[in-house]
Chains A and B, each alone.
Chain A
Amino acid sequence: MLLRTEHISKQFNGIYALNDINFELLPGEIHGLVGENGAGKSTLIKLLTGVYRLDEGEIYWEDRNVTIKNPVQSREIGINVIHQDRILIPAFNGVENAYLGMEYIVRGGKIDWKAMERNVAEKAESLGIDIDLKKTAAQLSPPQKTCLEIIRAMMQECKLLILDEPTASLTDKESEILFSIIHTLKERGTSILYVTHRMDEIFRLTDRITIFKNGTMVETVHTCDVTKELLVKKMTDQWSSQAIEHRQEFGEVMFEASGIQSKDGVVQEGNLRARSGEILGVFGLGGSGRTELLECIYGYRAMKEGQVSVGGATVAKPSPAKSLKHGMVLICEDRRGKAMIGNLSIKNNILLSSIDDYQRGGVLSEAKETADAQEKVDALQIKIAGLSQRAIELSGGNQQKVVFAKALMTKPRVFLCDEPTQAVDVKTRSEIHRLLRQKADEGSAVIYVSSDLKEILEVADTIQIMSRGRTTQQLRNEGLTSEQVLACCYDN
């Protein structure tokens, strides 16, 4: 047994975030950890990596009772974690980043860069990772950064590698590279604790799966003994998987963007057209410019050329304020970075895009604000302690619902959604899908960008392929398979 916890618990403000967990991890296994947002997965990771201290219970590491006091100690005994948001120093190169937190090799008072580089290069080769160690972290692509983090984790003896949503920002192809590295690690005897919301990855990679629900551990199962449906059922009480219905007939053209070219050259030529009632899925591999295209259309990213029109009216010189005025909202990928102000109250976050609708002569009408914000909270079933609670205190799924509430406050006709279900739990995910379907049925047009092809197939009526900064084919989502869509992406 590599790791065993006995009756461990952790409370925050008198409420159990984790309650009586008996978790076991074998050497050399890939162990999946699943559960909705707020189920306690992150809390467990933070206890194992010394970010939080235990309230009750014992941790046994290689059958010895240990107290993990801080992250340094956690690394010393051989636990490393790779977070969703990669923690690298942008201006440092590969070698410097790999040596973060470790003693540099010094000879005669001078840092022996050559020896360090040799060590890192050897480690990279033994893991089957091929990246340019001379490049700074800022110059690396997202998957390369993940690889660099893995190298860093493996520089010292690492017996347990925790991966927290490692594929959240990777495309399928990039994920494949990661998976093959994970298999290499497994063969070398490293245990992997794999945390994700993505069911297909769990079934592909793991040997065993542990399910968390509301801060308690449901059970640990062998991956071969369960099905996806069964697993989802164990994770949640009331949710049942249901694909939303697709539409065949649409109204008039609600949204059109043509010849979009971004100033930075990432978007070469973007053409999108969506009709009233339509959910248009936009799919492309990583670096195809999906996010950038939406940002250009919305007027957030500088546009070189192109035309955008909403409901027949041209948006001249797009800017976020003008887009909103025309009834077009952007729900962006990077929730904490761009969509939400963590330190502000939930109410102020919901009203963020519509401040001017509630003022007369510059003075805000707060009673009306509160009433309307509360209405949205009720309608979207956002779980909050009160409207004045800070948004940062909510779980990921509820945060995303606040972002949607903010969007709905502007009464939009066109939704530009960029990865709207990233890092939210399965239940919220299906709620978001149903909400968008409902809005489309009411006459809106929805542009839906996701790097998860299955999600696109589940949600979209029509699929627009994007490749290397250009929009290419458009496919009708009728009996379409993922292979067919992928084939279009690789064609070009």
Chain B
Amino acid sequence: MTMKAKQWNAKYIFQTYGTILAMILIILIFSILRPGAFCTLRNFINITRQMSPLMFVAIGATLIMSVNEFDLSVGSMASLGGVMAALFAVQGRPIAQCFLLPMVICGLIGWLNGWIVARFRVLSFITTLGMSTVLSGIIYRLTGGATVFENIPQSFAWLGTTRVGTIPLLSILMVIATAMFWFLMRHMAAGRKMYAIGGNEEAAKIAGINVKKYKNLAFALCAVLACVTGMLVASRVGSANTTAGAGYFLQSYAAVYIGCTVSKEGVPNIIGTLVGAAILTILSNGLTIMQMPTYMQDIITGGIIILAVIAQKLGRGDAK
């Protein structure tokens, strides 16, 4: 068989840019339905701020999925991050310590996840499920099951509420993190190796790539990023709920799966994840403005996730 010619027909455009077109379509629909409330600069800035915590944990999920593993503990990890940061703040530690110490601790826990998976060759699915339960237990031990909100100093809210001009610090941090990890995955040796491991672990091993090292790295980074999500949420609302991270687990993987449809190879990628996180946030923002009941929001969001996965299969020609 000879090579495929690049075809600039409707099908090709749909397959390559379908997800981005869908995002634009969603924006258009909300803009037409609620021009005054939705289609304003203020609301768009608002959307980037709402998106920020989701994007951090979703970047982590992208890294994990790029090495073909799963981390089910990101939800509890985020909750733990928020709780630890808040408790450190209550103890009166300097604000930098409040935010850096949880990242170090979560990074170590993530590294442990990776070490268990690589050393004993067990499924990451079940390892991290177990770790998630362990973390929930630790959170309960730390808080007694109650939300941490008393005696939190004002300065704790700095991270979540500061604005640079009209732009929230959260949005700026998201852009920086996205750019950094895009560069890591796209232009650095570590990213290339992680994709190789995800594509075919045995082939990567034979090519001399240190599979264990990069899996550990992915797990550690994923945990740190989930921790950041938890801390951003806690700082934003000025309190740490023991299950604040729970909702981010499914959302983050949904963003990654939607994001896979953006790449030609159908692999997890940072830009795609950004689009995925944007779609999910725009939906929730728009539907809230439309005063849609929560259950309808869930039905529509879930439906879109399923559609995205179908679109990905069709795009890659795997579907029969």
Query: Which A residue's beta carbon lies closest to that of B193?
Result: A355
Whether A353 sits at the interface, judged by CB under 8 Å, is: yes
Interface majority SS (helix, strand, loop, mixed), chain A: mixed
- Decide: A348 near B196, CB < 8 A? Known: A13-B7, A362-B188: yes
A491 at the interface (CB under 8 A from B): no
**Contact sample, A vs B, 9 pairs, CB 8 Å cutoff:** A14-B5, A15-B1, A17-B1, A300-B205, A338-B202, A340-B203, A352-B207, A358-B189, A384-B3
CB distance from B103 to the nearest CB of A (A): 21
Q: Quick check: is A77 within 8 A (CB to CB) of the other chain?
A: no
Q: Which size class do A's interface residues fall under?
A: 35 or more
Asked whether A393 lies within 8 Å of B196 as measured between CB atoms, the reply is: no
* A215 partner, pick from B1, B4, B193, B203, beta carbons under 8 A: B1
Q: Does A1 lie at the interface of the complex (its beta carbon under 8 Å from any beta carbon of B)?
A: no
A342 & B200 in contact (Cβ 8 Å cutoff) = yes
* Residues of B close to A364: CB separation below 8 A: 187-189, 192
A320 in the interface (beta carbon within 8 A) = yes
The residues of B that contact A366 with a CB separation of less than 8 Å are 187
Number of chain B interface residues as a range: 20 to 34
Identify 5 new A-B residue pairs, CB closer than 8 A, beyond the known A319-B208, A320-B205, A345-B265: A12-B1, A15-B2, A348-B196, A352-B196, A355-B189
Is B204 part of the contact surface with A, judged by Cβ < 8 Å? yes
Those 7 A-B pairs whose CB atoms lie nearest each other, nearest first = A385-B3, A341-B199, A321-B208, A359-B189, A353-B207, A352-B207, A341-B200
Task: Tell me the nearest residue of chain B to A345, going by C-beta.
Answer: B265
Does B190 lie at the interface of the complex (its beta carbon under 8 Å from any beta carbon of A)?
yes
Cβ-closest chain B residue relative to A369: B192
Residues 156-198 of B contacting A (Cβ, < 8 Å): 187-190, 192-193, 195-196
Contact in complex: B203, A341 (CB < 8 Å): yes
Give A391's nearest chain B residue, CB to CB.
B199
With A and B bound together, what is the CA distance between A337 and B1 in angstroms?
23
Q: In whole angstroms, what is the CA distance A366 to B192 when docked?
A: 12
Asked if A38 is an interface residue, CB under 8 A from chain B, the answer is yes
Asked whether A38 lies within 8 Å of B199 as measured between CB atoms, the reply is no
Question: Which residues of A339-358 have CB atoms within 8 Å of chain B's CB atoms?
Answer: 339-345, 348, 351-353, 355-356, 358
Assess whether A352 is in contact with B202, with CB atoms less than 8 Å apart: no
B206 adjacent to A320 (CB under 8 Å):
yes
B5 touches A323 (CB 8 A): no
Among A298, A300, A341, which residue has its beta carbon within 8 angstroms of that of B196? A341
Decide yes or no whether B84 CB sits under 8 A from chain A.
Answer: no
Residue of A nearest to B200 (CB): A341
Known contacts A363-B188, A389-B3; A320/B265 CB under 8 A: no
Closest chain-B Cβ to A436's Cβ sits at a distance in Å of: 19
Question: Would you call B267 an interface residue if the criterion is a C-beta within 8 Å of the partner chain's C-beta atoms?
Answer: yes
Considering the complex, which residues of chain B in the window 99-153 have a beta carbon less than 8 Å from any beta carbon of chain A? none
CB of A332 within 8 Å of the partner chain: yes
Q: Tell me, rounded to whole Å, the shortest Cβ–Cβ distance linking B14 to chain A.
A: 16
Would A320 and B207 be within 8 Å (CB), given that A337-B202, A343-B265, A362-B189 are in contact? yes
